[in-house]
Structure 1
Amino acid sequence: MNNNKRVVILFSRLSDYMLKTLETYVATTKNEILIFKIDPDKTEAPFQFNLKNDLISFKNENDFNESELLTEIETFDPNVIICSGWWNKKYINVVKHLHKSTPCILTMDNQWHGTLKQYLGCVYGRLFLKKLFVKIWVPGNAQKEFAKKLGFLDEDILTGWYVANDKFSRQLDEDNFNKRFVFVGRYVAHKGILDLINCFKILKESTNDQWQLHCYGTGDLIDKLPIDSDIIHHGFMQPSQLVAEAKKGGVFVLPSHFEPWGLVVQEFALAGYPLIVSNKVGAAEQFVKKDNGLIFEAKENNSLLNALRAFTLKSDIELLNMSKKSQEYGKTIGTKSWTANLESLIKSFDN
């Protein structure tokens, strides 16, 4: 008798790190997953996915109307349904049909900011969402507060929804620290890429050190960024290419004005990078401590400039010690804990 379980995931946009997590999950458990997804914006994140896996089926959400989507899921007969957010009305209506017969889990990465829209969302959550979902799975504590306001109790909230690909882990170079500031992200205003470049240029004007700024990404601002011998734009890279680049070492900088989580912070923590991130990055609380990085005030260029300057004044030994701490914090969650969470949930639903 086949005791393997079946999981449906109603995604928005599939990411490489989530795909790697799911591949590890099915390899470990032999359970089956049916994923409905929305194709990403190719202008800002032209990811290329290998969607060939005997235990994972992929379908485009926009190929189905609500009735067809419901039929597909009922035919698959899942043990659990995971729904990414509540903005997709088609997904929510399907959950309304199935939640009494199949346990449904909500996921989100929104931080609590106390806006009017969020307060209205809490009313909606308590009146409607809480009735549809038995659990909510969020990245970390930055989202847990919001989940509570939606009406979920502590015991119904899981953390660790986003986990990095452990291939970012590397052996640290004990003899040399590569003096690179590294930015990875979309070239859009709210990622703070312009802030970072302007601050780095000011920094270089006041020092003759060997530090460079290496940027990886693409987006609307690609043609507006300055060309400089110490500012190197590598363009967008597929995740496998980025893993190889991360092996070179350096200090990772994420100056976002708004960043619900920022999984890239964990990726570069695993790679042994000391971290400089803004206080608007959700992942900062979990992966950035006093002994491995700095958290600065978003949009405050003096704060960012001072953080960059502080790292240029550190010795290689100090930077190496910070690298080791980053790796320690980066390993606090991973695909094993993610798999254990989902398996524990499925077993609890069977009881």
Structure 2
Amino acid sequence: MMNKKIVILTNIPTPYRSKLFDLLCESNITVIYCAEVEPDRLWTIPRINDHNNYILKKSKQIKGKNGFYFHLNFEIFKVLNKIKPEILIITSFNPTNLIAIFWAFYNKGKLIYWTDGTLDSETKIGFIRKLIRKFLFRKFSSYICTGLGGKKLLKNYGVSNNKIFYSNLCVDNKLYQFHKYEDREFDILYCGRIVDRKLPRMFADICNEVNKIRKIRVHIIGDGECREELLNLLKTYSVDFYYSGFVQSDQLVKLYGTSKILLLTSEFDAWGLVANEALASGTPVIISNKAGAANDLVANDINGYVLGNNDIEEWRNKALKILNNKHLWHKMSSNGVQIVNHFNYDSALKGIVDSIKILNR
């Protein structure tokens, strides 16, 4: 199967996909990155193996209205002409990827589409971009998504079930440190970019409501344009909190286990990898139903709760339900570790391999 020349074109190196891409490169798949980093990403760039990896130089990056970056780099023509892949796996529809798609059309290469998106995460894309998707979706031979939300998105574009394959987002679960309920310094954790779409004001309001009934200590990890607003709100509400700032992924593994629960508020999230990280540390998760990981990874009364964004009182009640019931916390903590262990690199790799194998049928 891997005797064919296969290329994956993706945006930038990320901590959460570096190990998976290393495994793919060992299988003789080439990974091409549109750029080395994006301006608003603070993480340390993972080590990129020279073998079967290529980072495009001098990529033009344009920030879209939704806060995400588009990449434009005509060097992709030169690189693809050199490699001459028979199968091209596309991970977005940014300009560099569109150039690569037309390269595949011209050279009669087969195309696979790999998306982290969901119906909710793509509601804000404009008419022209939707039109491009509707046209191009018919040109792919198979499709990869991260979960149920991605499958709904693909089916919405008319993709049949037998062409859809799962490649779950995951972390190295065994690295995350577990602590007993009694040894956890913080009650509630916020971890991620502190930007509008993560609803930091809603997070602060929930903490305020919980704090009125039970005095809590909150841990804030991350950075972003709404940082000062979030911290000032917590001060105004007299919520005791500690702000760690941005923390690199190799240090995060030690921190998730110091909080009793994670709240993942979000207007939309393709997945929400912080949920994986929290569960791997035995930390129950209350997650917005607008995050892709909801329902795939978090189940009500099992390892947390999936809630809508319009009811702060319900978020307060569910947070208190877990915090005030040590037996329930232990049950959810144990369930969370067991469930997240099924989201691993072996299963992620299998979905990609299966999406390629179907092209040989």
Alignment of 1:166-315 (within 5 A): 166-171=173-178, 173=180, 176=183, 179-208=186-215, 211-224=216-229, 225-226=231-232, 227=235, 230-289=240-299, 290-315=301-326
Q: Structure 2 counterpart of 1:279, which letter?
A: N
The answer to whether structure 1 residue 89 and structure 2 residue 95 are counterparts is yes
Q: Structure 2 counterpart of 1:15, which letter?
A: T
Deviates more, 1:256-265 or 1:166-175: 166-175
Cα deviation code 1:61-115 (max 9, x no counterpart): 64497653122112123343211122x2332232122146332211223322596
Is the alpha carbon distance of 1:169 and 1:123 closer, same or farther for their aligned partners in structure 2, counting shifts above 3 Å? same
Matches of 1:8 and 1:272, distance apart in 2: 37
Is the alpha carbon distance of 1:103 and 1:61 closer, same or farther for their aligned partners in structure 2, counting shifts above 3 Å? farther
Please report the RMSD computed on the Cα atoms of aligned residues, expressed in angstroms.
Answer: 2.9
DSSP 3-state at the match of 2:253: helix
DSSP 3-state at the match of 1:158: strand
Matches of 2:73 and 2:324, distance apart in 1: 58
Mapped contact 2:194–2:223 kept (Cα < 8 A): yes
Matches of 2:286 and 2:191, distance apart in 1: 12
Identity %: 20
Output the TM-score relative to the length of structure 2.
0.83
Q: Structure 1 counterpart of 2:219, which letter?
A: H
Matches of 2:187 and 2:56, distance apart in 1: 40
Mapped contact 1:214–1:233 kept (Cα < 8 A): yes
Output the TM-score relative to the length of structure 1.
0.85
Q: Structure 2 counterpart of 1:231, which letter?
A: F
Is the alpha carbon distance of 1:256 and 1:115 closer, same or farther for their aligned partners in structure 2, counting shifts above 3 Å? closer
Matches of 1:80 and 1:327, distance apart in 2: 36
Mapped contact 1:292–1:325 kept (Cα < 8 A): yes
The answer to whether structure 1 residue 51 and structure 2 residue 47 are counterparts is yes
Mapped contact 1:164–1:264 kept (Cα < 8 A): no
Matches of 2:303 and 2:132, distance apart in 1: 40
Which of 32, 36, 55 is equivalent to 1:35?
Answer: 32
Cα deviation code 1:256-298 (max 9, x no counterpart): 1222221221221222111111121111111111211112221
Is the alpha carbon distance of 1:115 and 1:19 closer, same or farther for their aligned partners in structure 2, counting shifts above 3 Å? closer
Matches of 1:39 and 1:300, distance apart in 2: 40
| Alignment gaps of 5+ in structure 1 | none
| Alignment gaps of 5+ in structure 2 | 61-71
> Residue 8 of structure 1 aligns with which residue?
7
- TM-superposed deviation, 1:348: 4.1
- TM-superposed deviation, 1:335: 0.7
DSSP 3-state at the match of 1:284: coil
Alignment of 1:319-338 (within 5 A): 319-338=329-348
Alignment of 1:7-26 (within 5 A): 7-26=6-25
Matches of 1:341 and 1:145, distance apart in 2: 17
Q: Structure 2 counterpart of 1:14, which letter?
A: P
> Residue 350 of structure 2 aligns with which residue?
340
- TM-superposed deviation, 1:188: 1.2
Matches of 1:70 and 1:256, distance apart in 2: 37
